[in-house]
Chains A and B, each alone.
Chain A
């Protein structure tokens, strides 16, 4: 479960994000600059909201009234940023095990046996990120984020730099991960088709506000306002589903 209700003033831009998801894959959908990524940063603890609450599972990681603000390294989340930010000086294997500092060698081995297979990275363990293809880098970023058991996975437009065939592969990958893990996967995208294919629930964000959130059928078929219809409707027909 993920529940978030935060406000943040960033210069001229004001964010007022309220949504909750019971699980599965909530998608934050909106145009670029609408506040999706900022919301994700707030969940990850990289941006401190002015006030509000953020709950992940049973755990409150931020509550301005109660003075709770769990630092990012204690939030126990997997976070894949848009530019991936793979550590350039570490090999693929070292990138994956980066998060496993406290783990025993056996544990580490165990994760390393699992993850590259789960994300088809076998044989690439000793390459540096710059020696990997775009799709491989993408999968490596996912593997790194999932290396330790996390309470939720946050994905910020992770496929934006890839061409369509790779995007399709990776969407399938995400769906597979979702079926193997029970954690919520918060997915941020401005791509309507991606939102439609991956979402269990959708939150439509526009100009810092969540205009509508609910099941994807609700949001896409019964838009609550003209703006939501405009953001989802026109392009649904051209997306060719």
Chain B
């Protein structure tokens, strides 16, 4: 049986890219939600949760409605020369959509768990809010940050339904590992082919989890709270 290495590679690249983009986007959002009151906060909060409760297929239908060529934002995107549907970019977009909420949730909870008194004291020591965020808030949230990152990355890696609908199932372009497993299952190889691929994905995911666990423990971040 042919092992679709390109699918594994695409899965690893897109899920890691997703995690990177999600970290950059979600960290400020989570901090905003944890620390500040603003107009429409409840709406933002609910919108963040929405992708978690949606079946991925619904997300897969919703995304083309918004970003597809005939979608709500299709014309402006088209004018800018951006075509999302059925591209690798679409794979990443879908993964961000379904996995970023997990990161926002765990980050928000961990920012909330950091006593504001540390940030206040930091300010009275002459340290600017941005540096305080970097040296105190983010640092004290690191265990949850890593935990949330693992969740986010795992969710991106396992994404199937929405990808299938919005990005399609094209070898080398949008066929990630879960899609390759589905393809194998529907081919003549049937269950045996799907199992073989599943074992590969399981092994890779398990290995990465173990590496992360060890990294977490070695950073000694389990018990920094007083």
Contacts and interface: CB of A to CB of B under 8 A. Distances in A.
Interface residues of A, number: 28
A221 interface: no
Question: Is chain A's interface secondary structure helix, strand, loop, or mixed overall?
Answer: loop
Contacts of B123: 45-46, 71-73
Interface string B215-226: 000000000111
Given A73-B128, A73-B129, A89-B140, A98 B224 contact: no
Contact of A89 (B125, B131, B139): B139
B73 interface: no
Given A81-B117, A85-B118, A87-B118, A44 B124 contact: yes
Interface residues of B, number: 22
Nearest to B115: A85
A101 B117 contact: no
A75 interface: yes
B224 A77 contact: no
Contacts of A81: 117, 120-121
A172 interface: no
B126 A79 contact: no
B82 to A, nearest CB: 41
B127 interface: yes
A78 B128 CA distance: 15
A79 B124 contact: yes
Contact of A83 (B117, B127, B131, B139): B117
A148 interface: yes
A8 interface: no
Nearest to B121: A85
Interface of B: 115, 117-118, 120-129, 131-132, 135-136, 139-140, 224-226
Given A78-B124, A88-B224, 5 more contacts: A45-B124, A73-B126, A81-B120, A101-B131, A130-B226
